[in-house]
Amino acid sequence: MNVKEYIQSGILENYVLGSVSDQERREVECIASIYPEIREELESLSVSMNAYAEIHRVNPPTGLKQKILAELEDLSDADELQNVVEMRAASAGVWKYAVAASIAIVLVLSFVLFNTMNQVDSLSEQLSGALSQNQELSSASEEDQALIKQLQEANKAYYAVIKDPNNKIVHMHEAEGKPDALTLVYWNPTSKEVYVQVDHMHIPSDELQYQLWAIVDGEAIDAGVFEVGEDSTALQKMKPTEKADAFVVTLEKRGGVPVAEGEIYALGNT
Amino acid sequence: MHVTSDKNIDNQKLVSLLKAKDQKGFELLYERYAPTLYGVILKIVTKEENANDILQEVFLKIWRNIDSYSVQKANLYTWMLTIARNSAIDHTRKKEFNRNVDIQKIKLGSLGTETQRTDKIGVKEKVQKLDPELREIIDIIYFGGYTHSEASEALSIPLGSVKTRVRTALRELKKLIV
């Protein structure tokens, strides 16, 4: 990431003038939290624009203050009631994911089983044939069994992560100009475990690799590198992370770097 | 930073009060920031009764969204001003506000009338040193809600010049204020 170029791009000026999209705004805030130089520039532009806004100040009519504060008080009361309802609903919410996952698992397993059965059927027809064919059958079913077992293990692990109520699901959204970067981050603040699940991301050249960063108090902390490819929809375990205000994905040289250098591809607040 | 009461409560403490949905926090917030938020809203929607409703809406939005706000992410004042500005501009868009006509109103900002505060007079004088052309670009984007291409059309200058002018305007403003 070229800090000077970013500052000169005009995006920070557009941010303080309010002429950015929601996505650009989140991106500016995230990038500013990583690079102190950008944060400093953004802060002084913000202070300038706030001062400019302030010279237009007008006292609101008397009475408006009481009206607004009274409305907030009503909302506060309504909220307390809502919290009780939400707490009851929250435990039910987790099951939505669990049910979705079980359906997915059943679908995958039925597909595997269907294929196996077909294979078994077609091989059974040849059972009366040569012994070599018989051997072929036993080795094929062993292979399938191994595959089923492997899938079961993977699904069990996947299921364990997504049904864990301590896991926060962070929906990463793609950075501006990076349309092909959809990722989920599962983060468990208690066990510090972090998993990345790539939905779809642009596959980089061999010498590059995506790296995950946990943003804590404006500092980017390395959370490890992950793979993107045909087989990468499985959960990938990342480095343990205790605290994170946000997660960011950058593209770095293979193996990762200690301090982020590459461009940001995806970001999401915890 | 000007403070009308509880001077010793800084923004960080104020934010924790707000996150706790503390009434006193919101009262303090109102005292500190409502005049500026109101001034910006009024400049955009022009009608006082609309501005009253929008200010109320803005405080509700602050109340609802304060949980997602973090001091690390954005300047509190800027965050609230963005909410105020966007709410006011949404309102004018809903009313199919004829922005080509209203550019006259926005042009060469008639500065707010409430300038008794000595600490603000300094800033106002400084801002008056800003080239009118640069102030105009800030005003039509910030208060008029113009996009860059709308500004390009309204001012009859190329899009590239709008971008350059925006950067220059903010850089000059920063020099005058910070």
From start to end of chain A, where are the E strands? Answer: 168-174, 181-187, 194-201, 208-216, 219-226, 236-237, 246-253, 264-269
- pLDDT attached to residue A2: 85
Instruction: Please report the residues numbered 241 through 260 in chain A whose beta carbons come closer than 8 angstroms to any beta carbon of chain B.
Output: 245
Phi, psi (rounded to 5 degrees) for A178: -125, 80
Could you tell me if A26 and A76 lie in one domain? no
What is the reported pLDDT for B109? 41
**pLDDT mean across residues, chain A:** 80
Q: Are residues A246 and A184 part of one domain?
A: yes
pLDDT band at A54 (very low <50, low <70, confident <90, very high): very high
Give a yes or no: residue A217 inside a domain. yes
Q: Does a structural domain hold residue A200?
A: yes
ipTM, interface predicted TM-score of the complex: 0.84
| Residue A128 is assigned to a structural domain of this protein | no
Q: Is the pLDDT of residue B4 over 60?
A: no
Q: Is residue A66 part of a domain?
A: yes
Give B138's Cβ-side CA count (13 Å radius). Answer: 27
Mean pLDDT of the A97-122 span: 58
A70 and A25 in a common domain: no
Q: Which has more confidence, B112 or A239?
A: A239
Same structural domain, A22 and A81: no
A71/B contact by beta carbon, under 8 A = yes
Region A57-83: mean pLDDT is: 86
Q: Is residue A154 part of a domain?
A: no
Whether residue A103 is contained in a domain is answered as no
Tell whether A12 and A86 lie within a shared domain: no
Q: Does residue A101 lie within any of the structural domains? A: no
| pLDDT at A144 > cutoff 80 | no
Q: pLDDT tens digit string along A184-194?
A: 898 998 889 99
Question: Domain limits at A32?
Answer: 3-55
Q: Residue A53: is its pLDDT beyond 90? A: yes
- Determine, for residues B56 and A16 on separate chains, whether the beta-carbon distance falls below 8 Å: no
User: Do A13 and A74 fall into the same domain?
Assistant: no
Shortest CB distance from A43 goes to which of B60, B75, B169? B75
Task: Kindly state whether A73 is in contact with chain B, defined as any CB-CB distance less than 8 angstroms.
Answer: yes
A24 and A76 both lie in a single domain: no
Shared domain check, A75 and A7:
no
A117 vs A11, more confident: A11
Nearest chain A Cα to B62, which residue? A72
A240/A253 same-domain check: yes
- Cα A111 to Cα A49, A117, A234, distances in angstroms: 60, 10, 18
State mean pLDDT over A159-187: 80
Domain boundary among A44, A69, A90: A90
pLDDT(A224) > 90: yes
Categorize the per-residue pLDDT at A112 as very low, low, confident or very high, splitting at 50, 70 and 90: low
- Inspect the interface and report whether the beta carbons of B34 and A29 lie closer than 8 Å: no
pLDDT in the model for residue A261: 85
Pair A191, A214 in one domain: yes
Name the band, by pLDDT with cuts 50, 70 and 90, for residue B115.
very low
CA dihedral A136, A139, A143, A149 (to 10 degrees): 140
Helix (H) or strand (E) holding B173, with range, is helix B159-177
A178 and A225 both lie in a single domain:
yes
Query: At residue B71, what are phi and psi to the nearest 5 degrees?
Result: -55, -30
Mean pLDDT of A38-45: 94
Identify which has the larger pLDDT, B85 or A139. B85
B35-91 residue pLDDT tens: 999 999 999 998 999 999 999 999 999 999 998 888 878 889 999 999 999 999 999
Q: Determine the Cα–Cα distance for residues A20 and A269; give it in Å rounded to an integer.
A: 19
DSSP H stretches of helix in B46-117:
48-65, 76-94, 99-106
Record: contact A13-B167, CB cut-off 8 A: yes
CATH of the domain at A188: 2.60.40
Total structural domains within chain A: 3
Please state, for a pLDDT cut of 70, what percent of chain B lies above it: 80
Residue A121 has pLDDT above 60, yes or no: no
Q: Are residues A195 and A213 in the same domain?
A: yes
CB–CB of A68 and B56 under 8 A? yes
Kindly state whether residue A42 falls inside one of the protein's structural domains: yes
**Average of pLDDT values for A206-220?**
87
Model confidence pLDDT, tens digit, residues B149-167: 999 999 999 999 999 999 9
